[in-house]
Structure 1
Amino acid sequence: MQFKNPEVLYFFALLIIPILVHLFQLQKFVKVPFTNVAFLQKLQQQTRKSSRIKKWLILATRLLLFSAILLAFSQPYFSDKNIDKKQHTFIYLDNSLSTNTKGEKGNLLKISAQEIIESANEKDVYSLQTNSNFYKDISKNELKNLLLKIENTSKKLDLSTIFLKINQLNKNKTNTLYKNILISDFQNTYKNKFTNVTPAFSAVKLESSQKNNLSIDSVFISNANTTNFTVNAIIKNQGEEKSNTPISIFNNENLVSKQSFNIDKDSEKTIQFTIQNKDTFLGKIQLTFSDTFPFDNTYFFSINKRKKASVLAIGKESHFLSKIYTKDAFNFTNATLQNVNYNAISKQQLIILNSLENIPEILAQSLLDFSKNGGSLVIIPNEKLEVNSYNSFFNKLQIGKLQNKIIDTLKITSINYNHPLFKNVFSKKVNNFQYPSVNSLYPIFSKNSSTIISFENNTAFISELKNNIYYVSSSLAKTNSNFVNSPLIVPVFYNFGQLSFQFPRLSYRVATENKIGIETQLGKDEILTIANSRKSFIPLQQTFQNSVVITTKEQPLEAGIYSILKEKDTLQNIAFNYPKEESSLKYLDLNTLAKNNKNIEITSSIPATFNALNKKNEVQWLWKWFLALAIVSLLLEILILKFYKP
C-alpha cells in the first residue's frame, strides 16, 4: 500500500490524547452510606466492572474513528507505480516500405496506428519515433492526430539510433516512469544490434499474411555495340516457384518490349531485353504480379546520350590511330612515355600502350588502378621489348605470362565473328580476304584468354586476356607487320574505343548518400537542381573548374526518373530506386533474442501491450473505504453510549 499524502500519518501521534483521557479520568466515585452494606458492596463492584468495559469499547471506537479519518486524508492506494511519478511511453512505429503490406487485419502500418490510438491511455505522456520524424512529449490527442496522417517512407532507421533516443529521454527527466514499445516487422537488417546494454523494451512483431515475393533486384547493360545493347534485369524470387509472370520494359512510359518468364523456388534469374541505341533511354522495368511488396515490382534506370570516348595512346605517334580515332567520335590524345599526364589517366576510357620497350613501375601502378575501375587497355608490344618488365606488369594485372620472342612469318587468317568486338561489323563471314602477316611475335600464356583474331597456326594474334584488357601479340610497326594496311585494322581499333565507353551509372538508391559527377561549368550565382514532374530540390553540390559533384541523401524519397537542371536546361537524367534490403522476407527470431537478453519482452499484439501497461499502472484508491470505516466506528460509539447500560 502506498500513500499520496504520507505526511498526514504523523498525526497518529495525537491519538495518545484520548488514550490519556481514558486512562487518567478526573471523575471520582461518591460514597453514600446505606444499611445493607454487603449488597451495596456487590452492586458497586459490578457497576465498576461494566463501566470499565464500556469505556474501553468507547476508546477503541474513537481510536478507530480518528485512525480511519487520518488514513482517508493520507489517500492510500494500491499500484505498481508511484502516484507522484508520471508515465511516459516511448513508441517506435516502423513505417518503412516493408510495412506497406497486408496482415491478417489489413495494411500493417494503418492497422498498427489504429490499434495504438484505441489502446493508449488518456493520462499518459508519449514520444513517437518513426523512420522519418520524432515527436517528443505529446498528449494522447496529439498522438492520435499524428498517427492518422502517418505514411510509409523509404527512410530506414537504425536500431542504435532508436536506443540512443530512449537513453536520452531517460537522462533528461526525473520523477518519470518510462515504458518503451518497439513496433516493427524486425527484418534481419537489425541483426547484431542487441547487446547487454540495450534499454528495456517491449517488442511487437508485425507479420505479413503473404510469404512470397518477386522483386527486381538490379539492372545492368551488356553486349553494347554501335547499334544496340542488352538490358539485363536480375529477378529475385522468395517463395514458391512462379510461372508465366509478365515483365515489361518502357522508355518514358512507351512500351518497348514485353515477355513472360518462369522462375524456380527461392532463386534468381536474369531477364534480357535487346534495345536499339538511342540518344537517351528513360527506362522502366515492371513486373505484373501481386505479392508481398508492391514497391519492388518496378525498377527505373536512365541511359543518357553517349559522349565521346576518351582514348589515350602512350608511345610513339602512330598515324593509323589518329585516323581511326577522329575528333567527331573520340577525344584522342597521344603522349610519349616521358610526357604522360598521370592525372589524366583516370579520366580515359581506353589506353593503348603502343610499342613500349618497357613499362615503368609508376605507369604500371596507374594502369592497374585504371583497369580496376573498369577502364579498357590495349597492349601492343615493341619489337625489342623487355620481357621481365612486361611480365612484372602482367603479373600485377593477373593476365598471364609473356613468352620469349618467336621469329617466324605467319599469316593472320581467322576471325572470331562471335566476339562482341565484331558484332554487326560483317554482314557475312569472309573467307578470302587479303591475309596480313607478321614477321615476329611475343605469344602470351594465359588460362582465361579469348581469341579474337588468330594466325594460320591457330595461335592468337589479338586476344582478350581479361575483361576489357586486349593483347596484340606482334608489333604493328611497318618493319614487322602489314596489319595496319589491312581493312581489319579499322573495325578492330574503332570498336576497342566504342566498347571501352562505360555507360554511366544506370540508377541510384533513394535515402542513401550518392555522389554524381556532372560535366558543366557554373557561374558565380548558378546552382543545379534535381526535379521531376511532381517535385524539385537543390542538392548539396561542389563546383570545380569544368564539373560539378552533387551529393544526394535525404532527397529524393520517391523512386522515379529525375532531371538535373541548370536553370531550365536538362544536363542529365538520373533514376532512383528504393533500397532492395526492404524486399527481404527474412526476419529476426524475437523469442531467441528474448532468451539471450533479459531487457527484451515479447508481446503478442499492440492492444495486449497497452492493456498490460495500463493494468500495471492502474491505481486502486482506498480512502473511500477508510472514510466508510470512520462512519461505522462513529455509529458504533453512538450505539454503545445509547444501549450499553452498566
Structure 2
Amino acid sequence: MQFKHLEVLYFLAFLLIPILVHLFQLQRFVKVPFTNVAFLQKLVLQTRKSSRIKKWLILATRLLLLSALIFAFAQPYFSNHKANEKQHFFLYLDNSLSTNAIGEKGNLLQVATQEIIENSTEKTSYSLLTNNHFYVNKTASELKEILLKTTSTAKKRSLADVFLKITNEHKSINSSTKNIIISDFQNIKKEAIDNAPENTSFVKLIPEQKSNISIDSVFVNDNGSSNFNIHIIVKNQGKAKNDIPIAIYNNNKLLNKQTFNIEENKTTEVTFSVVKTPVFLGKIDVNFNDTYGFDNSFYFTINANEKINVLAIGKSNDFLQRIYTKGEFNFTSSSLQSTNYNSIDKQHLIVLNELENIPETLLNSLKSYTQKGGNLVVIPSKELTLSSYNIFFNKLNVGKLLSQKKDSLKITTINYNHPLLKNVFEKKVANFQYPFVKTSFNATFNNATSIVSFENKQGFIKQINLPNASLYWIAAPLKKDNSNFTNSPLIVPVFYNIGKQSLQLSKLYYTIDKQNTIDIDKQLGKDEVLSIVNYKESFIPLQQTLQNKTRITTKDQPLVAGFYEVQQQNSVLKNIAFNYDKSESYLEFLALSETNNITISTSVKNTLENINNENKIQWLWKWFLSLAIVSLLLEILILKFFKP
C-alpha cells in the first residue's frame, strides 16, 4: 500500500492525546450511607467494571474514527507506481506502405490508429514515432489529432533506429515509460528485436491475404527499328494465377493490353512493343486484387535524345570509336594541333590518347575542366616526356610518374568490387587469356584505386579521385605494337562505363527513399536553381554545378510514385519517374514462433488495455472514510444502548 500524501500520517501521533486523557481522567465518588453494606460493595464493584468497559469501547471507536480519517486524508492506494509519478507511453507506429494491407478488422494502419485513440487517457503523456515524424510528450487529445492525420509513407525506419530513439527519450523524460512497438515486422529477423529496451511490448499487425503480384522491374530493348520493346518482370508470391490483365500507357494514354499466367512463387516476363517517341512516359498497370495495391503500378521514362559528349585528343583511336557509338555518345576525335579548346568546356569525358607532351595551354584548360567536374582518361605515349606529364599531374595535385619499364607484364587481376565492374561479370574469372603490355610506366598517385592490375600487383588502370571529378590512368600505351589489351574483353566494359559514369543520364526509373544521383546536361548561373515538380508537389533537391552539367541528388523526397519534371523556372529539362522500393512488396514477416523469449501480441487494443490495467491506481480512501463513519455509528450506539 502506498500513500499520495504520506506526510498526513504524522497526525497519527495526536492519537496519544485521547489515550492520555482516558488514562488520567479522575472521577470523584460521593459516599452515601446505606444500611446493607455488603450489597452496596457488590453494586459499586459491578458499576465500576461496566463503566470501565464502556469507556474502553468508546476510546477504541474514537481512535478508530480518527485513524480512519487520517488514513483517508493521506489517500492510500494500491499500484505498481507512485500516484504523483506521471505515466508516459512511447509508441512506435509503423506506417510503411505494407501496413496498408487489409487485416481481420480492416486496414491495418487505420485499425491500429483507432484502437490507440480509444485506449488513450488524459492521465498519461505520449510520444509518437512514425516512419516520417516524431512527436514528443503529447496529451491524449493532441495524440488523437496527430493520429487522425497519420497516413502511410514510403519512408522506412529500422528497429535499431527505433530503439535508439527510445533510449534517447528515456534520458530526456523523468517519468515511468512504457514502450509499445506496433508493426507488421516485414523483412525483420528475430535478432533485430533481441536488443529491445526494457518495458517494451510488441504488437504485430497481420494481413489477411497471403498472396501478392508485383511489378518487379522494367527494361527497354532498342532493336534498331521504329519500335521499343518494353520488357516487364512480374513477381508472384502465392498460388499460381491465370489471365491477369496488364496494360501499358504513355502519359495516361492507353497503348496496349494483354493477359498473362504466372506460376506459384515464380516470376514471368511480359513484353510490349511501342512506337519510339522523343520522350516516353510509361506506366504499367496490373489489374488484380491482392495483398498490396501500391505495387500494381510501375512508372518509367525514356528520354531518347540524351547523349554523353566524349572528346579524344591525340593519336588514332579506332577502339574508342567502336566503344563510344552514336546511339549513346557524341564522340569527337582530334589531333593535338587541331583541338578546339572552346569545345573542352562542353565535354563530359576527355581522353588524352598517347600524347608525348601536354602543352601549357591544354594543361590549363584541363585543370579548369576537372575543377568543374569533367572526367579525364590519360593514356601515355611510349615516347612521352616525363617532365611534361609530371607538370600536368603536379597541377592537378595527384602524384607523379617515376620511370618507364620495358619488361613484358601480364594483366591478371580484376577488381570486381569497383563501381566500373561491379555488375559486369556474372562470376569471377579464374583463368582467361591474360592481356599483356611490353612497355609500361611506374607512377605514384594520391587517392588512387586499382581497377585492373598487373601480375606484380601494380595498377594497370587506376581511378584517381579529384575534388569534383575522376582521373583514370592507363599505365601503358594501348596501340597494338605495345599491348593486345584492345582485343581483350575488358576493354569495352572499362571504357564504356567510364563514359557512362561521366554523365549520370536519367535512368528508366528511380527508387523512392534511396539516394539517387541525376545529371542534367545544363550549366546553371550563380543564382539559378533546379526544382523537381509534379502535379501535386514541388521541391528543390540538393544540387551541384559541375563542368557543363548540374548534378542533383534526391533522398528524402519525393515520397509518392509517379512522373516528375526537372525544371529550371518554368522550363522542363528532363522527365524522370520514381517507384516504391520493391522490398515493401515482400510477404516475409517475423514469425511469432521465432520469438521464444519475447511475447508479441496481435491486438493493439488488448495490449493497451493490459498496460492501462497494470498501471491503474486502486484508491482506498473511500474505504477508510467508510470505516470512520462506521466507527462514529458504533460510538453513538454504545453511548445510547450501553447502560453500566
Matched residues in 1 for 2:328 and 2:422: separation?
26
Which string of whole-angstrom CA distances, capped at 9 and with x for unpartnered residues, describes residues 473-515 of structure 1? xxxxxxxxxxxxxxxxxxxxxxxx99x9997421111122212
Q: What is the aligned counterpart of 1:337 among 350, 354, 357?
A: 354
**1:517 and 2:513 matched:** no
Change (3 A) 1:366 1:333: farther
1:37 maps to what in 2?
37
Mean alpha-carbon deviation: is it higher for 236-245 or for 215-224? 215-224
Q: What is the aligned counterpart of 1:389 among 437, 458, 463?
A: 437
1:420 maps to what in 2?
none
Contact 1:463–1:470 under 8 Å retained in 2 = no
Matched residues in 1 for 2:197 and 2:629: separation?
53
1:454 maps to what in 2?
none
Contact 2:321–2:331 under 8 Å retained in 1 = no
2:213 maps to what in 1?
214
What is the Cα-based RMSD across aligned positions, in Å?
A: 4.5
Residue 155 of structure 1 aligns to a residue whose secondary structure is: coil
Residue 8 of structure 1 aligns to a residue whose secondary structure is: helix
Residue 636 of structure 1 aligns to a residue whose secondary structure is: helix
Which string of whole-angstrom CA distances, capped at 9 and with x for unpartnered residues, describes residues 159-213 of structure 1? 2222222222222222x22222221111124663324453432111111111101
In structure 2, what residue type is equivalent to 1:544? L
Change (3 A) 1:319 1:74: closer
1:608 maps to what in 2?
606
Mean alpha-carbon deviation: is it higher for 576-585 or for 281-290? 281-290
Residue 193 of structure 1 aligns to a residue whose secondary structure is: helix
Q: What is the aligned counterpart of 1:551 among 532, 542, 553?
A: 553
2:68 maps to what in 1?
68
Larger Rg: 1
Which string of whole-angstrom CA distances, capped at 9 and with x for unpartnered residues, describes residues 55-106 of structure 1? 2112211111111111111112222332111121222221111111211221
Query: What's the TM-score once normalised by structure 2's chain length?
Result: 0.74
Matched residues in 1 for 2:419 and 2:627: separation?
93
CA-CA distance at 1:240 after TM superposition: 0.7
Change (3 A) 1:190 1:158: farther
2:99 maps to what in 1?
99
In structure 1, what residue type is equivalent to 2:552? I
Change (3 A) 1:388 1:366: closer
Matched residues in 2 for 1:505 and 1:146: separation?
37
Q: What is the aligned counterpart of 1:632 among 627, 630, 633?
A: 630
**1:372 and 2:370 matched:** no
Task: Write the mapping of 1:46-61 to structure 2, written as runs, cut at 5 A.
Answer: 46-61=46-61
Contact 1:312–1:348 under 8 Å retained in 2 = no
In structure 1, what residue type is equivalent to 2:3? F
In structure 2, what residue type is equivalent to 1:568? N
Task: Write the mapping of 1:57-456 to structure 2, written as runs, cut at 5 A.
Answer: 57-174=57-174, 176-189=175-188, 192-196=191-195, 198-222=197-221, 224-225=223-224, 227-308=226-307, 316-317=315-316, 330-333=330-333, 336-338=353-355, 372=421, 388-389=436-437
Matched residues in 1 for 2:407 and 2:311: separation?
16
Q: What is the aligned counterpart of 2:575 among 565, 573, 576?
A: 573
CA-CA distance at 1:644 after TM superposition: 1.8
CA-CA distance at 1:636 after TM superposition: 1.8
Matched residues in 2 for 1:570 and 1:294: separation?
31
Mean alpha-carbon deviation: is it higher for 190-199 or for 213-222? 190-199
Mean alpha-carbon deviation: is it higher for 562-571 or for 500-509? 500-509
Change (3 A) 1:159 1:469: closer
Contact 1:183–1:203 under 8 Å retained in 2 = yes
Which string of whole-angstrom CA distances, capped at 9 and with x for unpartnered residues, describes residues 244-272 of structure 1? 21222222223333332221111222323
Contact 1:246–1:258 under 8 Å retained in 2 = yes
Task: Write the mapping of 1:9-24 to structure 2, written as runs, cut at 5 A.
Answer: 9-24=9-24
Matched residues in 2 for 1:181 and 1:284: separation?
40
Change (3 A) 1:203 1:631: same
2:467 maps to what in 1?
none
Which string of whole-angstrom CA distances, capped at 9 and with x for unpartnered residues, describes residues 121-178 of structure 1? 233222222212122222222222222222111111222222222222222222x222
In structure 1, what residue type is equivalent to 2:558? P
1:562 maps to what in 2?
564
CA-CA distance at 1:282 after TM superposition: 1.6
1:588 maps to what in 2?
590
Matched residues in 2 for 1:160 and 1:321: separation?
49
CA-CA distance at 1:225 after TM superposition: 3.6
In structure 2, what residue type is equivalent to 1:556? P
In structure 2, what residue type is equivalent to 1:43? L
Contact 1:158–1:190 under 8 Å retained in 2 = no
Task: Write the mapping of 1:471-550 to structure 2, written as runs, cut at 5 A.
Answer: 504-550=506-552
Residue 337 of structure 1 aligns to a residue whose secondary structure is: strand
Residue 527 of structure 1 aligns to a residue whose secondary structure is: coil
Q: Which runs of 5 or more structure 1 residues have no equivalent in the other structure? A: 377-385, 399-439, 446-461, 472-496
Which string of whole-angstrom CA distances, capped at 9 and with x for unpartnered residues, describes residues 503-559 of structure 1? 742111112221212221111111111112222111111112311111111211111
CA-CA distance at 1:389 after TM superposition: 2.1
Matched residues in 1 for 2:409 and 2:538: separation?
48
